[in-house]
């Protein structure tokens, strides 16, 4: 008799536990409109554009999943998942990928209709999950696929290093993966990107000194959007060399006012006494050496990534 309440309570507790588990898992699966075993009605699949650590210091250059298998008639919805800007861009037949041009409206804005024709230029426009990128950015982009084939797309900001492929098969073909399988794969890859970024951060700390600042680094997939060390102290007349030690992402070192064209150098780095000074676009491997000829505290930014926290300060002492 005394066991009876316990017997009643146990399944009750279990149900509660399962219900709360389901409540936690539900938001993850809400984005998925595709279910295994239901190949006949058109689906909308989700691909995440970019990834990032919670402090935005580490940014991922990837579409997750990078390969997706859909059927003719299905939609793909790309969702911005990072502060770093990206695009979803299908090149026209015979067109080659050009370097990113922040003044080209064909790269910055949406191009093409809502249904992919299999051979023309289509572009999402700039995508980001924040609104302070300096660009007019969208949070999602949806295309309907009716032509079968394998279609590779790129991010025009990050070039060949960031691409994905849509595999479109005949309507009714059995799907190899469900949306939740893609989502799990994406989460796993996102964690790997953040770990890779943390390792690069650690390595950058070892290379950096009061006279050498690592102005961002990346391995073409994981990018560190930080100056290391972001605060340094030098003496009057000394020099500091800023180094982009990455492989894919550009940065700038910009003191004073942000120039209208962040790609162009401003001022004389051999004799900095405050005011406006900018490296212009620093490609991977580029160095920028500044001689500090005035006592004070000088703040600087990466004009491309300051909104993610890529900022620094040089204190110059007598």
The residue ranges that bind Cu ion (CB under 5 A) are 216, 251, 302, 304-305, 310
CB-wise, 71 or 254, nearer to Cu ion?
254
Residue 179 has phi, psi (to 5 degrees) of -60, -40
CB-wise, 110 or 230, nearer to Cu ion?
230
CB-wise, 266 or 310, nearer to Cu ion?
310
Can you read off the two tokens belonging to residue 18? 């399962």
Find all residues with CB under 8 Å of 31, minimum gap 6, and list them.
Answer: 46, 79, 179, 183
Can you read off the two tokens belonging to residue 268? 């004389």
CB-wise, 68 or 303, nearer to Cu ion?
303
Q: How far apart are the first and last CA of the chain?
A: 86
Q: How far is the CB of 306 from Cu ion (least distance, A)?
A: 8
Q: How far is the CB of 308 from Cu ion (least distance, A)?
A: 8
Q: How far is the CB of 206 from Cu ion (least distance, A)?
A: 20
CA distances from 160 to 63, 235, 237, 249, 263 (A): 12, 42, 42, 12, 21
Dihedral of the CA atoms 303, 108, 67, 70 (nearest 10)? Answer: 150
Q: How far is the CB of 64 from Cu ion (least distance, A)?
A: 22
Q: How far is the CB of 302 from Cu ion (least distance, A)?
A: 3
Nearest-angstrom CA–CA distance, 208 and 58: 18
Q: How far is the CB of 310 from Cu ion (least distance, A)?
A: 5
Nearest-angstrom CA–CA distance, 16 and 10: 10
CA nearest to 44, candidates 78, 19, 82, 14: 78
CB-wise, 125 or 216, nearer to Cu ion?
216
Nearest-angstrom CA–CA distance, 310 and 5: 60
- The side-by-side arrangement of strands in the sheet containing 159-169 is 67-71, 159-169, 149-155, 89-90, 122-123
Q: How far is the CB of 41 from Cu ion (least distance, A)?
A: 44
CB-wise, 86 or 251, nearer to Cu ion?
251
Can you read off the two tokens belonging to residue 306? 């300051």
CB-wise, 86 or 305, nearer to Cu ion?
305
């Amino acid at each position: 008799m005394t066991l009876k309440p316990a017997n009643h309570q146990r399944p009750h507790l279990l149900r509660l536990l399962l219900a709360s588990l389901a409540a936690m898992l539900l938001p993850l699966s809400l984005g998925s409109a595709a279910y295994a075993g239901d190949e006949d009605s058109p689906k909308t699949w989700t691909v995440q554009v970019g990834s990032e650590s919670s402090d935005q210091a580490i940014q991922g250059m990837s579409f997750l999943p990078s390969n997706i298998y859909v059927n003719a008639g299905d939609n793909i919805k790309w969702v911005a998942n990072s502060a770093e800007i990206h695009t979803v861009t299908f090149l026209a037949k015979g067109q080659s990928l050009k370097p990113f041009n922040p003044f080209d409206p064909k790269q910055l804005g949406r191009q093409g209709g809502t249904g992919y024709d299999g051979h023309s230029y289509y572009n999402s426009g700039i995508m980001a999950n924040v609104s302070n990128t300096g660009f007019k950015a969208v949070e999602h982009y949806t295309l309907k696929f009716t032509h079968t084939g394998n279609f590779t797309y790129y991010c025009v900001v990050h070039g060949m290093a960031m691409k994905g492929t849509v595999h479109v098969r005949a309507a009714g073909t059995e799907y190899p993966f469900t949306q939740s399988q893609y989502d799990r794969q994406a989460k796993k890859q996102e964690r790997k990107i953040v770990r890779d970024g943390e390792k690069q951060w650690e390595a950058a700390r070892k290379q950096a000194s009061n006279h050498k600042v690592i102005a961002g680094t990346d391995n073409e997939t994981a990018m560190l959007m930080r100056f290391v060390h972001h605060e340094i102290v030098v003496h009057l007349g000394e020099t500091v060399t800023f180094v982009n030690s990455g492989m894919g992402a550009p940065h700038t070192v910009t003191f004073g006012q942000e120039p209208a064209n962040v790609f162009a150098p401003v001022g004389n780095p051999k004799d900095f006494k405050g005011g406006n000074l900018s490296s212009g676009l620093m490609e991977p491997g580029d160095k920028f050496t500044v001689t500090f000829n005035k006592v004070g505290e000088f703040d600087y930014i990466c004009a491309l990534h300051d909104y993610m926290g890529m900022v620094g300060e040089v204190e110059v002492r007598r």
